[in-house]
Amino acid sequence: MKIVVVGTGYVGLPHGAICSEYGHTVYAYDINQERIDAYNSGDRQQIEQQINEPGLVPIIQEQLNRNLFFTTDISDVIEGTEVIFMCLNTPPRRDGSTDLTYYTNAANHIAELLAARKEQTRVVLVNKSTVPVGTARYLEGILKQHGVENAGVASNPEFLAQGKAVEGSRSPDRVVVGADTEEDLGILRKLYAAYVNHVRIRYIETTPETAECIKYLGNTLLLTYISFWNGIGARMAESHDNIRMEDLKVGVTADSRISTWGSYVSNGAGGSCFGKDIQSLIYQLKSSGNQAHLLEAVFDINEYQKTYLFDRAGYEAGFNFNNKSVALLGLAFKKRTNDMRDSASLKAVQALLAKGVKEIRAYDPLAMHEATRYFDPEDNHLYDRIVYCESERDALQGSDACYLSTDWEEFRTLSADIRASVDAPYLIIDGRRMLPDYMALVQDGYDYLPVGGQFLSINETKAYKPKNPLPKTSSLIGR
Ligand code: UDX
């Protein structure tokens, strides 16, 4: 099938690439010339500087100019196109509502092109990025305004998690398609032939509004799980003697009705979706006259989690950040991505600067280049205090404390780097519960402050002494 993908960001690029792999002819369109040039170069480094997804570059290199074409001009490829995927950036406004400016501009442009088609092949415009309930209907209105004929609208939300876009696209849990007519459902069935009647993949056909709502409820329920564990589980383990976080979560989630996903306590969930989607759903509920207390609490817990460890460092460990050097380990919102949208590290930097640190020694395996875009000293002269480091050890060098922010696998062996780089006493703030041998560090005089656990130190003045000491090898290993 001939398809067009509008917008080549984290949603559009993997989706377009996978569709081309399934044999469709894909025209991926973006107004950003730099992006399109990078993709057309076929060069790994240039592509990954735009979007870094494991396994994506080889597909682009293989399909480029065969089934996959990148362009900033779709005016002459729209003829004969059967499906147009809208994969545009829909940022949140301050009040939580969704800014549909990019979306509307693109929709109007496409509607003009569709209205001028010579042959009126049936075309379905499909919303792939997350848009408020009612946006498919709004799109239908734009098509009508332009007098577009023989076109339908659909919602086919993207459920992919970053870092797993390729494997998730090849083998999704479910494909949700919301459309109004059997004809349009049939066109999407043809497109997704590999998934229809699949033994494991749920292929769900419904109305556009239901599909839109499925995406919001799915994402906010996932964030609710995370906030439950961060706001309730972690708090209990931090404020009571002898609660072992890992045993707690295994015990609770052993019930097959309860998800294990979401029980990894952390310094808050980031990424482009969760924060934006929950704010949008709160807005949608309230603007239809409903309360949204549950979701407001979920959102607040998640935001609080992004900086509360710095406060604990003050009142539990007696650490004063003023004029100190802090190693910030991890900048991306999670491992295996260079994406920093809504990352806990963004709030960490603000909190540390507000507490008067002398320098922040930052290191991330993938997101260093990305970070320079967020921390431009021309926007805030205090960003001069950020030192970009080449490795964990480089970041730890000369620091007074470290803050582990992203769950990169390589940080599991951070203890060795700490021992090699800084002498005890030294404060380790672990936002991810990543150090399996933390008790050995504590015994050697390092102070350890983790999410989901009490502050540990052998220093008598600040010491917390567990009544029954924690085992040397904790069940953190292999979690
Ligand atoms: C999420 C949804 O998972 C996906 O279905 C949706 O399409 C987009 O939003 P993504 O943002 O890529 O995907 O990341 P995800 O892996 O879900 O993690 C989100 C954040 O939650 C990360 O910061 C992660 O570190 C954190 N997290 C996740 C936890 O803190 N604890 C957990 O148990 C799981």
Separation of CA 120 and ligand 1 centre (Å): 41
- What pLDDT shows up at residue 465? 42
pLDDT at 460 over 80: no
What pLDDT is stored for residue 477 in this prediction?
A: 33
**pLDDT recorded at residue 253:** 98
pLDDT in tens, 170-197: 889 999 999 999 999 999 999 999 999 9
- CB of 161 closer than 6 angstroms to any ligand 1 atom: yes
The tens digit of pLDDT for each residue in 216-250 reads: 999 999 999 999 999 999 999 999 999 999 999 99
Answer whether 160 contacts ligand 1 (Cβ < 6 A): yes
The two tokens of residue 352 are 């540390």
For 418-431, the pLDDT digits (tens) are 999 999 999 999 99
Could you read off the pLDDT of 389-411 as tens digits, one per residue? 999 999 999 999 999 999 999 99
Look at residue 475 in the predicted model and tell me its pLDDT: 37
What pairing do the DSSP bridges indicate for beta strands 151-155 and 174-179? Answer: antiparallel
Q: How confident is the model at residue 384 (pLDDT cuts 50, 70, 90)?
A: very high
pLDDT digits (tens, 9 = 90+) for 53-78: 999 999 999 999 999 999 999 998 99
Other CB atoms within a 10 A radius of the CB of residue 459 amount to 14
466 has a pLDDT exceeding 90: no
pLDDT-based confidence at 80, cuts 50/70/90? very high
| Span 258-275, pLDDT tens digits | 999 999 999 999 999 999
pLDDT of residue 478: 33
Looking at the CA of residue 160, tell me the nearest atom of ligand 1. 7
Within the chain, what is the greatest distance between any pair of CA atoms?
82
CA separation (Å) from 114 to 77, 125, 470?
Answer: 11, 11, 66
459 — pLDDT class (breaks 50, 70, 90): confident
Measured from the Cα of 344, ligand 1's closest atom is 23
Give the nearest ligand 1 atom to 432 CA.
Answer: 30
Sheet with 174-179: strands ordered across:
68-71, 25-29, 2-6, 83-86, 123-127, 151-155, 174-179, 202-206
Identify the active-site residue in 213, 273, 389, 402. Answer: 273
The full set of domains in the chain, from first to last, is 2-206 (3.40.50.720), 207-479 (3.40.50.720)
Q: How large is the average pLDDT for residues 360-378?
A: 96
Question: Probe ligand 1: pick from 227, 334, 345, 451, max atoms within 8 Å of CB?
Answer: 334
* Residues near 255 by beta carbon (within 8 Å), at least 6 away in sequence: none
Euclidean distance between CA atoms 100 and 86, whole angstroms: 12
Which residue owns the Cα nearest ligand 1 atom 9? Answer: 273
Given a cut of 70, whether residue 298 has pLDDT beyond it is yes
**pLDDT at residue number 461:** 55
Average pLDDT, the chain: 94
273 is catalytic: yes
Q: What is the pLDDT of residue 467?
A: 39
Residues in the chain: 479
β-strands 2-6, 123-127 pairing? unpaired
Q: Is 159 in the pocket of ligand 1 (CB under 6 A)?
A: yes
Closest CA to 392 of 428, 425, 424: 428
CA dihedral 372, 374, 375, 380 (to 10 degrees): 140
Give the pLDDT confidence score for residue 473 in this predicted structure.
36
Examine the pLDDT at 471 and tell me if it is beyond 60. no
Query: Do residues 311 and 421 lie in contact, with contact meaning Cβ atoms separated by under 8 Å?
Result: no
Q: Identify the pLDDT of residue 152.
A: 98
pLDDT number for residue 286: 97
The token duo for 358 is 């002398």
Q: Is the dihedral of CA 5, 6, 12, 17 positive or negative?
A: positive
Phi then psi for residue 326, to 5 deg, are -120, 130
| Residue with CA at minimum distance from ligand 1 atom 2 | 161
